Amino acid sequence: MTDMQHETTRQGFPVEAWDAIAALYDEHVAPGESDLALAGLRLAGVRKGDTFLDVATGPGGLGLPAARLGAKVLAVDWAPGMIERFNAHVAAEGLDAEGRVMECHRLDIADDTYDVTGSQFGVMLVPDQARALREMVRVTKPGGRVFLTAYGNPDEFEALHFFVSAVRAVVPEFEGIPEDEPPLEFQVSDPEVLRRRLTDAGLKDVTVDTSHHERIEVLSGQQLWDWCIGGNPIPGALVADFTDEQREDIIRVLDGMIRERSAHNGPAVFTAPLNIGVGTK
């Protein structure tokens, strides 16, 4: 990884990098997230008729399932391409929801507005997480709930390690993700840190559920490649300097590894542990 890539991985990526992957995210990542979204919404007690704010929604990670449950949803994200896709899903399904472009460190929303506020894989990865969490608490009604869904222990993030080993098989000098200073994505991978950050943001009765996992099923190297590149700008930045031939070789290696993992029988399954923290204002 170059110094510049290392710095971006540490500081977070600009809005353009998220806009650039909005279509891939919507097609390859979002469809597999509905079970874990429902787990978060259930833990926070979202019910029909509640007002719900989804922060850093992407193409609708929490906002769409919440609207399908009958909540009145505002979904915000700083990337216009993500919000465009969210609003297209809302229109296609005729849901009671609206998407708006908004920076999560400065929500343009009045105090005490929402029954429940949540963020899945969004506020997890922003550079000033304490401030973004305080914003989520500020716009939630007294007595309302705030929740954050984030990745747990990076050592158990199977798809990521699989991807890195396939890249190393083709480019042996590939360094992968720095282990001494993990990316912002893992800043609350320790459930105790997440509990403390939610408490410091002004929440009470904070609990962190560690029983849920993200689970993806993949049939081909191309599918895992698309999931990795479409889910976050980091993998794309790591392979940005590779030639087309190297990329094709990596996808071929992934194909073989996936066939072996599934014992040539159906899709290979990859899991990653989650922390779902919930508190009351």
Ligand X SMILES: C[S@@+](CC[C@H](N)C(=O)[O-])C[C@H]1O[C@@H](n2cnc3c(N)ncnc32)[C@H](O)[C@@H]1O
8, 57, 129, 275: which one binds ligand X (CB under 6 A): 57
State both tokens at 101: 């472009």
* Sheet strands (E) in 24-103: 51-55, 72-77, 97-101
| CB 43 within 8 Å of CB 274 | no
Strand partners of residue 215:
271
| CB 117 within 8 Å of CB 139 | yes
Residues 29-48 that bind ligand X (CB under 6 A): 30, 33
1, 8, 18, 151: which one binds ligand X (CB under 6 A): 18
Answer yes or no whether residue 126 interacts with ligand X by CB under 6 A: yes
Answer yes or no whether residue 52 interacts with ligand X by CB under 6 A: no
Name the residue number minimizing CB distance to ligand X: 61
58, 144, 230, 235: which one binds ligand X (CB under 6 A): 58
User: Measured from the CB atom, is 231 or 255 closer to ligand X?
Assistant: 231
Place of tokens 């259930």: 42
Residue 138 CB, nearest approach to ligand X (Å): 15
Burial of 266 (0-12, 13-18, 19+ CB in 10 A): exposed
1, 39, 53, 56: which one binds ligand X (CB under 6 A): 56
β-bridge pairing 72-77 and 114-120: unpaired
Query: Which window, 53-61, 92-100, 201-209, 257-265, contacts ligand X (CB under 6 A)?
Result: 53-61
Query: Which window, 56-64, 210-218, 235-243, 271-279, contacts ligand X (CB under 6 A)?
Result: 56-64
User: Measured from the CB atom, is 66 or 268 closer to ligand X?
Assistant: 66
Answer yes or no whether residue 77 interacts with ligand X by CB under 6 A: yes
| Alpha-carbon span 150 to 234, nearest angstrom | 16
Q: Where are the alpha helices (DSSP H) in 101-187?
A: 129-138, 158-170
Phi then psi for residue 107, to 5 deg, are -70, 130
Query: Around 113, how many Cα atoms within 13 Å sit in the side-chain half-sphere?
Result: 16
Q: x/- site string to ligand X, residues 177 to 216, per CB under 6 A?
A: ----------------------------------------
Q: Residue numbers of the site for ligand X (CB under 6 A)?
A: 18, 30, 33, 56-58, 61, 77-79, 82, 103-105, 120-122, 126, 232
